[in-house]
C-alpha cells in the first residue's frame, strides 16, 4: 500500500474526500480529478489539513471530450498504480427526470478514465458502485450473488459500469477490478472538517435530518410509517463514511496483492438495519436538538427493509465496519454544526 500512487476520480466529493484522507494516511500519493459540479475545491484544503499530506489536483471533466487528452497526459505524468472511480452523477430522483444526462456523464467518464489508466499502464480500479444495483429483488441480508435489477437510471449506470469493468477484466487479464456496492453512507470525518454538502434540498435522510437539526430546514417528512418493519418506517444499512473509505484502501491493497485476474463485487455495509425513527432518535441524542417531523406518504420506489451481508468483504478484504450509529450521528452533527452551509461558509 505504502507509496502507491492512486488517481481519485471525483476525489473532492463527499465519499471521495474521505477516501483521499484514508489513502494519504496509508502512505499513498493521490491525484484528484474533479470538475466540482457536485463538490468544492475547499474539500482539498481540508483533506491536506486532516491527513497532513497533500493531494494533487487536476480540475477536469472526465465526461467532456475537450478534456480527454489533457486528462490522459496528466494521468500518464502522475505514474499511477491504479484508481478509485467515484466520478459521476448520483441523485436517484434526478436520474429519473434526466436519464440521458446520467448515461451521457457516468459512462463516458468511465471510458476516459479506463483509457487514461491503460495509457499509463495502470490496470487496477476500485469502482464506487451502489447497493441500488440490487433493486427490490432480494431477501435481506443481501449478498453479492443476489439478483440485480436497478429500478432507476442512476442505479442502471452503476450496474452497466460494473459489467463494463467485468468485461474489460475478462478481455485483458492484466486488469484487476473491485466493484464496491455501498449501502447508505452517512456521517463525516471526526474532525468535522469534511462532510456531506448536497446541492439544494437533500434527497437523503441523514443530510436532511442534519439540516433540520442545524435550523436550515424546518421539518422532516417521514416517508411512510406503515411498512412491515419493527416501527413501520423504512429500514436501511447506514455505514459511517470513514468505515466506507477504509473499505476502499482495503480494496486497493487486496487488488495490489491479487494474483488472479478478474472483477469482484463487495458489499460495503454494516450488516444491520436502522429505521427512520431510530435514526431521528439517535440524531436527537447526538445533537441535543429537536428534529420536528411529520408522517408523509411513502416515497415512490422505496422498499421496506434493505441491509447488507458484508461477510465477503469481511473475509476477503479483511475489512469490517466498526463505527456505531451514535458515532455516525455525532460525527455528522459535528460537521453540520461546524459548517452550517457546508463548504459555502
Ligand atoms: C433512507 C430512508 C426513506 C428522506 C439512496 C439511494 C442509494 C444510495 C443511498 C447512492 C428511506 C427515508 C428519506 C426523507 C425519509 N445512494 N427518508 N425522509 O433511498 O435508501 O438510498 O441513498 O448510491 O442509491 O437510493 O436512502 O436516505 O434517501 O432514504 O423518510 O426526507 O429514509 O423513505 O426509508 P435510500 P435515503
CATH superfamily of 5-186+239-269: NAD(P)-binding Rossmann-like Domain (3.40.50.720)
Q: How far apart are CA 106 and CA 62, in angstroms?
A: 9
- The Cα-based distances of 211 to 203, 205, 278, 287, 336 in angstroms read 12, 10, 17, 11, 7
The CA 190 to ligand 1 mean position distance, Å, reads 23
Mapped to the 3 state alphabet, what secondary structure does 109-167 carry?
HHHHHHHHHHHCCCCEEEEEEEHHHHCCCCCCCECCCCCCCCCCHHHHHHHHHHHHHHH
Q: Is 39 in the pocket of ligand 1 (CB under 6 A)?
A: no
* Ligand 1 atom index nearest CA of 185: 9
Residue 255 has pLDDT above 80, yes or no: yes
Q: Is 221 in the pocket of ligand 1 (CB under 6 A)?
A: yes
Closest of 140, 115, 156 to residue 33, by C-alpha? 115
Rounded to two decimals, what is the model's pTM?
0.98
Sheet of strand 235-236: strand arrangement: 274-275, 235-236, 305-306
pLDDT bracket for residue 261 (50, 70, 90): confident
- The Cα-based distances of 221 to 160, 209, 245 in angstroms read 33, 10, 29
The CA 233 to ligand 1 mean position distance, Å, reads 12
Share of the chain above pLDDT 90, in %: 97
The CA 225 to ligand 1 mean position distance, Å, reads 14
Q: Is 293 in the pocket of ligand 1 (CB under 6 A)?
A: no
Q: How far apart are CA 276 and CA 124, in angstroms?
A: 38
Which pLDDT does position 260 carry in this prediction?
86
Q: Is 219 in the pocket of ligand 1 (CB under 6 A)?
A: no
Q: Is 203 in the pocket of ligand 1 (CB under 6 A)?
A: yes
Catalytic site residue 134?
no
* Nearest protein Cα to ligand 1, atom 21: 184
pLDDT digits (tens, 9 = 90+) for 130-158: 999 999 999 999 999 999 999 999 999 99
Which pLDDT does position 68 carry in this prediction?
98
Which pLDDT does position 317 carry in this prediction?
98
Which of 102, 154, 227, 238 is an active site residue? 154
Amino acid at each position: 500500500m505504502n507509496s502507491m500512487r492512486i488517481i481519485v476520480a471525483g476525489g473532492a466529493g463527499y465519499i471521495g474526500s474521505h477516501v483521499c484522507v484514508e489513502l494519504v494516511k496509508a502512505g499513498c500519493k493521490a491525484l484528484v480529478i474533479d470538475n466540482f459540479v457536485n463538490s468544492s475545491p475547499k474539500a482539498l484544503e481540508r483533506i491536506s489539513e486532516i491527513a497532513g499530506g497533500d493531494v494533487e489536483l487536476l480540475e477536469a471533466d472526465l465526461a467532456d471530450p475537450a478534456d480527454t487528452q489533457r486528462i490522459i497526459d496528466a494521468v500518464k505524468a502522475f505514474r499511477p498504480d491504479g484508481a478509485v472511480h467515484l466520478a459521476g452523477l448520483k441523485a436517484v430522483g434526478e436520474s429519473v427526470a434526466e436519464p440521458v444526462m446520467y448515461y451521457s456523464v457516468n459512462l463516458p467518464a468511465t471510458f476516459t478514465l479506463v483509457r487514461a489508466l491503460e495509457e499509463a499502464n495502470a490496470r487496477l480500479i476500485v469502482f464506487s458502485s451502489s447497493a441500488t444495483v440490487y433493486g427490490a429483488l432480494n431477501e435481506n441480508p443481501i449478498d453479492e450473488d443476489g439478483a440485480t435489477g436497478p429500478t432507476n437510471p442512476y442505479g442502471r449506470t452503476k450496474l452497466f459500469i460494473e459489467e463494463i469493468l467485468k468485461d474489460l477484466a475478462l478481455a485483458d487479464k492484466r486488469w484487476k477490478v473491485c466493484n464496491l456496492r455501498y449501502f447508505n453512507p452517512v456521517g463525516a470525518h471526526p474532525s468535522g472538517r469534511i462532510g456531506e454538502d448536497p446541492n439544494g434540498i437533500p434527497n437523503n435522510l441523514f443530510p436532511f435530518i442534519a439540516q433540520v437539526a442545524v435550523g436550515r430546514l424546518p421539518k422532516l417528512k417521514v416517508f411512510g410509517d406503515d411498512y412491515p418493519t419493527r416501527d413501520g418506517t423504512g429500514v436501511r444499512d447506514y455505514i459511517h463514511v470513514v468505515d466506507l473509505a477504509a473499505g476502499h484502501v482495503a480494496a486497493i491493497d487486496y487488488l495490489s496483492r491479487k494474483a488472479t485476474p478478474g472483477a469482484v463485487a463487495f458489499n460495503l455495509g454494516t450488516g444491520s438495519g436502522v429505521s427512520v425513527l431510530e435514526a431521528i432518535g439517535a440524531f436527537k441524542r447526538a445533537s441535543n436538538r429537536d428534529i420536528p417531523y411529520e408522517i408523509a406518504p411513502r416515497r415512490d420506489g422505496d422498499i421496506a427493509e434493505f441491509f447488507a451481508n458484508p461477510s465477503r468483504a469481511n473475509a476477503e478484504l479483511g475489512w469490517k465496519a466498526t463505527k456505531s450509529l451514535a458515532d455516525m450521528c455525532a460525527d455528522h452533527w459535528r460537521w453540520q454544526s461546524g459548517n452550517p452551509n457546508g463548504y459555502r461558509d
